[in-house]
Amino acid sequence: MARSIFWISTVLCLAFLALPLLLVLPLAFNTSSFLTYPMEGFTFAWFGEVFGQPSWTKAIWNSVKVAAGAMALAVLIGGLAATGVTLTGRVLQMVLSALFVSPVVVPSIVVAVAFAYAFGRAGLSGSYASLVLAHAILGAPLVFLSVLTSLRGLDPDLDRAAASMGASRLHRFRHVTLPLAAPGFLAGALFAFITSFDEVVVALFLAAPESTTLPIALFSGLRDRLQPTIVVVALLLSLVSLLFLLAMGQMQKRGAAASRN
């Protein structure tokens, strides 16, 4: 009996988790404009419509620009912060780590209101810069954690060995520590990119019509009218997530292989 309980509950719960996207995303290829089964035929027409509409293509381009900028800034501040805290004492390290990680726990609506007011007063509202800055703050904790984890996993003997051979602190950092911690930086960069690329709430408060990102366009599309182009955009966003997950998997595999050698 225990086995049947195990299988039935597992299958039902897995279905709840997986079926919604598995059922809905194929409708992006449906000839009918009604979002339901049975599918009438297979078409790429809705993709053509998305890529032909300036409102969607502009949003896609904006999202890529914002995510790339936010990623670069998040890697810079998150990476510097993680490297810096490893050199501080225990108490200071705890306090600083709590600060650097804290944007993760603040509800997004709260940071959104805070950013909207502060950037509005600074004359940045609606600008590309405001979105990049805000998303960098949301991505920095992930870079911080990822870099910190990889720095802590390093063998301290390697640094000591380099020091014993007379390498300066800076030289050791550049030629020993940094290359070894590179996977942490890379993983953090991916986290920061996808966080910005998928972010809705903060962007909703900061984006002007010209700087609208893809999730915002999707959000307003959903409130406006349900049509297959919306499912196409949802599919595109899922593909980006899938690519991200594959990249992370590749990196983990390579990391495991490297540590075995």
Partner 1 sequence: MLTSQKAHGGRLAAFLLLVLPLAVYILVYLVPLGGIVSLSVDNRGLSDRFPALRAAFAQGGAGTADGRAAALLQDLAGLDAKARGETARMLNQEISGFRSLLLDTGRDAATIAPTMAALVAFDPRWGDPTYWEVIERNIPALSLRNFQKVTGLKTGPDGGLTIAQGDDIYLRIMLRTLVIALQVTLLTLLIGYPLAYAIANGSRRLGTFILMVVLLSFWTSILVRTTAWVVLLQTNGLLNNLLLWLGVVSEPLQLIFNRFGTLVAMTHVLLPFAVIPMMNVMRTIPAAQNQASRSLGAGGVETFLRVYFPQSLRGVVVGGGTVFILALGFYVTPALVGGPGDQMLSYYIADFVRKTLNWGMASALSVLLLGGVLGLLAIYGSARWVMTRRKEGV
Q: How far is the CB of 260 from partner 1 (least distance, A)?
A: 20
Decide whether 183 or 231 has the Cβ nearer to partner 1.
231
Query: In degrees rounded to 5, what are phi and psi of residue 40?
Result: -85, -30
Decide whether 62 or 261 has the Cβ nearer to partner 1.
62
Q: How far is the CB of 92 from partner 1 (least distance, A)?
A: 9
Q: How far is the CB of 1 from partner 1 (least distance, A)?
A: 7
Decide whether 3 or 261 has the Cβ nearer to partner 1.
3
Decide whether 140 or 162 has the Cβ nearer to partner 1.
140
Q: Which of 104, 167, 164, 173 is nearest to 140 (CA)?
A: 104
Q: How far is the CB of 179 from partner 1 (least distance, A)?
A: 18
Partners of 30 in beta bridges:
42
What distance lies between CA 56 and its chain's CA centroid?
20
Classify residue 80 by burial, with Cβ atoms within 10 Å: 0-12, 13-18, 19+: middle
Decide whether 68 or 113 has the Cβ nearer to partner 1.
113
Q: How far is the CB of 6 from partner 1 (least distance, A)?
A: 7
Half-sphere exposure in the Cβ direction for 110 (13 Å, CA) = 6
At a CB cut-off of 8 Å and minimum separation 6, what does 52 contact? Answer: none
Q: Where are the alpha helices (DSSP H) in 88-227?
A: 90-101, 108-121, 128-152, 156-164, 169-172, 178-198, 201-206, 214-224
Decide whether 114 or 180 has the Cβ nearer to partner 1.
114
Q: How far is the CB of 108 from partner 1 (least distance, A)?
A: 6
